[in-house]
Structure formats: C-alpha cells, structure tokens
Amino acid sequence: MSLLDIAPVVPVVVIDDLETAVPLARALVAGGLPVIEVTLRTADALKAIERIAAEVPEAVIGAGTIRTPADVAASVAAGSRFLVSPGSTPKLVDAMEASGVPFLPGVATASEVLALAERGLTEMKFFPAEAAGGLPYLKALGGPLPDVRFCPTGGIRLASAPDYLALPNVGCVGGTWLTPADALATGDYARIEKLAAEAAALR
C-alpha cells in the first residue's frame, strides 16, 4: 500500500524530550494514525525513531526534514520505514531512491514536480503547503499532472484538512496540530489520542 493511502493525516512530530517518544507514538496509533513522521530537527530525533521502531511495532515510523544523504543513511539505520524531505535535489533524491524505503520528496513548484516525474516518481510532499499556494495551487497542478499525488504539509489544520483531502491529487496531509507542545509537556496523551481520532475520522 502507498504511504498516501494508510491514513488521512500524517502527524509531523518534533521530539524535544526522548521520554515522550514511545507514549506519544502509542497515543497516535491508538487514535488511528499509525504513520508518524519524526522530524530531524532535534538532537534526540534519531534516538526517538529507534525507540518507536523497537517498542511500537504497529507504528509506521519515518523520518522528516531529510536534507542530505547522511540524513538518509542515519534515518534508515535508526529504523525509519519511510523518508520525507522538505525539498528535492538530484543528489538527495538519488540517496532516497537508493535507500530501499518509500520516500516523499518535497516540491513547491510545477518544475520541481516535473523533474521528479521524469524520474518516474508520482508521490511527493507539497511543502510549505499554505505558503506555496495551498488548495488553489494543488487544484491547478491536477490538470496538467493528473498522475501525480501529494501529501501537502505546512500550515494545515483540522479545519482545512478536509478541503485538501477532497482534491483527487491529495492522498493525505501532514500536520503538527496533533501533538500540541503543552500536551507533550504535561504528558496529556489522552488529548493527543483524541486529536488523532478526530483526524483519522476525516476519511
């Protein structure tokens, strides 16, 4: 199954405290969102991926903010089952293709989409979604590029997610609203599970 078809929303997670990784992942899975993207924006991100991969096997754990071939190698070694990049360069896409795991290369323009389509890639991350044109832009891309599907991420919330998901070229959306900083700080995983359940019900 395609990454884009497993769940309507992919939680985009920033983990500052390693001890929150496993209970956070369990709450998201319990709420119906098994695909989890841990961004490589903190010192403990790779360790968090390792822990989730080892202790929450029902989660489809992946790494986001992939920027270099070294990020690709480290993420796969940590147990990432997919990779997501904020943008795409030939060198980075080469490394992600060689990794052997599914990946969503980041795009923000029609030319970037075409460059990846020339390589035979048809599933991409549209980022930063709202800042790069949002719904109207993705709808416009669907005309000349009907065979390409996206996971838009960046500025999307529960209220706007259904509009994105209604587009035929959107498989899922990425969102940070599922893991509020205050909920993580207080260990309110019941709240996170509830937010995940609301998002899972979008499809």
Instruction: State the catalytic residues.
Output: 37, 125
How many C-alpha atoms does 202 have within 13 Å on its Cβ side? 26
Contact between 96 and 90 under an 8 Å Cβ cutoff? The reply is no
Residue 89 CA: distances (Å) to CA of 68, 69, 100, 110, 125: 9, 11, 18, 15, 14
- For helices 45-55 and 21-30, the axis angle rounded to 10 degrees is 50
* Alpha carbons 177 and 45: distance in angstroms, whole number: 18
